[in-house]
Amino acid sequence: MTPHPLVAGAARAVAGLAPAVRRLLCDDAILRDTKAAADRGYFTPDEDERVRSWFARYLTARSELSETIRDLRPLAQPRRDGEIRDATRMQAFIVAYAAACTLVNAGRGLVREIAHHTVVQRKLNEQHAGQRIPRKQYTAVYRSLTSPRHAWQLAQAIELADTNRDAIDAAAADPILAPVVDVIESNESVLRMGVRQYLRARLRYRWHSYRRRRASAAQQGLFHLAAASGRVIAEMRLPWHRDRLRRAHRAHLASLVRPGDVFVVRHDRVMSNLFLPGYWPHVALYVGSAADRATHAIEVDEACAAAWVDPHCVLEARKDGVLFRPLDDTLAVDAVVVLRPSLAAADVAAAIARAATHHGKLYNFDFDFFTADRLVCTEVVYRAYEGIGGVTFPLQTRAGRLTLSAEDILDLAVANRGFETVAVFGTPHVGNRVVTGADAAHALAASYQAGRS
C-alpha cells in the first residue's frame, strides 16, 4: 500500500537526516578542533566559530528528528495487544522508530566522540545569541540521553519493533520506506543498551551535572556583579504568543504575488528556527498554478507536472525535501516578505523551469552549497535565478563554508540589486497587517538590519 502522505514526508526527512547526522559526527575538522582545544585547555576564535556553527547544525538536525517523531505519534500508537494491524500505523511506527534510533545515535555520538572533555562540554553549554542557541544545550542532550523515562519509552519501542520484525523487514520492498529500514539496521544497535551500561551512563551524567552546578554557582556570583539584572537570556526568548498570519492576510498576499516571486518567512513557533541565523531564516519560491505554467509555457517533465497541480503552487525545501506545496501551507507563518525579481517575463519563466528540475530531491541537512542532489531552502532560489538576467548571489563564508542565508537574499532587495520588495507582514514595525510599496521596503530593512548593529 502507498504510504500515507504524512508517513511519506517523514520517511523522506529521516532518509535525509540520518546520513547528515553520521557526517556531523565524523566531521574531521570538528574532531581536530575539539581535540586541540582539549589539549590546550581553550578554543581559539577560529575553532570557536567552527564549533558553534557545527553545533547549530547538530541541534537543527536533532530538532527536526524530534519534530518528525511528534508529527507521527498520532498515527503510530499501537493496539493494546502490541500488534499494529493497521498498515498506516505500522508504517508510521517504522519511520518514527528509525527517527528515534537516529536521535539516540546522535546523542551518544555527541557525548562520546565530540564532547569528550570538559573544555568541549563547557563550550557547547555556552549561549550563542547569533544562532539563538540557549545555554546548557549539551547538558540538555546528555540529560535526555540518560533519562529514565526516555529509557523506558525506548525499551517499549524496541519490544514493539521485535514483535513486528517481519513487517519491518517487509517494508524494505517499498521504495519510500526502504531507506528508513536501512536507517534502522544501521542505528538500532545503539538502542539496545543493557542495564549496566545505562546505569553507568546515568552515573556519568549525574557527575557531569554535579560538576556543572558547582562551576555555575561560582560563575553566577561574578555574573551578577557584572550585570545586576541577570536577564540576558530574556533577550533570546521568542514571542511565543505572536498571532499567526490569518486567512484574510493570506488572501491579500495571494492577490499580490506573481509566479517567480520569493517568500522569505519566519515561524516563531518552529524550534529549529532557534538555530538558524538571523531574524528571517527561511525562503520559498512561488511558481504559480498549473494554469500559470501553461500561460508562461514552462516545460517540465511528467513527474514534475504530476506533482505541480492545484493547489500546489510553491516550490519549497523543508525537512521532507524539495516539494510543490499549497500556498496556505507555505504561508502558515508569523511573518513574511514577498520579493520580486527585476527580470523580464521570459527570464522568470526560465528560472522557474530550472527550479522545477529540483522537485523531489531531499533536504540538505549538511548545508553544503556544492552538492546539487540535496538542497537547502535558499538553494532553490539560488539555483533558479543565479546567472539569469544578470542576477548574482554573493555567497558568504561562514565558519569556513560558502553559504547563502535568507537575509543575504533580502540584502539584494534592500539594495535594489535584482529583487524588489513587494509586501511585508508581521514584523515588529508593521504588526499584523500587510504593507506594500515604500512602506514595505522600509519595514524590511528595519526588521533585520537593526539586529546586526
Task: Give start and end residues of each alpha helix (H) in 41-177.
Answer: 45-72, 87-109, 118-124, 137-145, 148-163, 165-170
Report how far Cα 206 is from the mean position of its chain's Cα atoms.
31
Closest CA to 323 of 272, 380, 248, 386: 380
* DSSP per-residue codes, 374-419: EE-HHHHHHHHHTTGGG-----EEETTEEE--HHHHHHHHHTTSSE
Q: Give dist(CA 451, CA 294) in Å, integer.
A: 42
Q: Give dist(CA 244, CA 331) in Å, integer.
A: 9
Give the chain's residues under pLDDT 70: 76-85, 129-131, 148, 152, 193-243, 269-277, 399, 448-453
Does residue 290 come out as left (phi exceeding 0), alpha (psi in the -120 to 50 range) or beta? alpha
Return the CATH architecture of domain 247-452: Alpha-Beta Complex (3.90)
Closest CA to 238 of 270, 276, 264: 270
Provide the grid cell at 181.
529500514
Q: Give every CB contact of residue 243 below 8 A, 6+ residues apart in sequence.
A: 334, 432
DSSP classification of residue 131: G
Question: Residue 183: which H helix or E strand, with range?
Answer: helix 178-187
pLDDT in tens, 100-138: 999 989 998 999 899 989 999 999 999 886 667 888 898
Q: Domain limits of the chain?
A: 5-236, 247-452
Contact, 117 vs 34, CB < 8 A? yes
The reported pLDDT for the residue numbered 206 is 54
195 CB burial (10 A radius; 0-12, 13-18, 19+): exposed
Contact, 90 vs 164, CB < 8 A? yes
The reported pLDDT for the residue numbered 80 is 55
Task: Determine the 3-state secondary structure of 329 from DSSP.
Answer: helix
Contact, 409 vs 283, CB < 8 A? yes
Q: Following CA atoms 160, 165, 170, 172 in sequence, which dihedral angle do they give, to the nearest 10 degrees?
A: 80
Report how far Cα 39 is from the mean position of its chain's Cα atoms.
33
The reported pLDDT for the residue numbered 234 is 27
The reported pLDDT for the residue numbered 418 is 96
Q: Give dist(CA 142, CA 150) in Å, integer.
A: 12
The reported pLDDT for the residue numbered 231 is 25
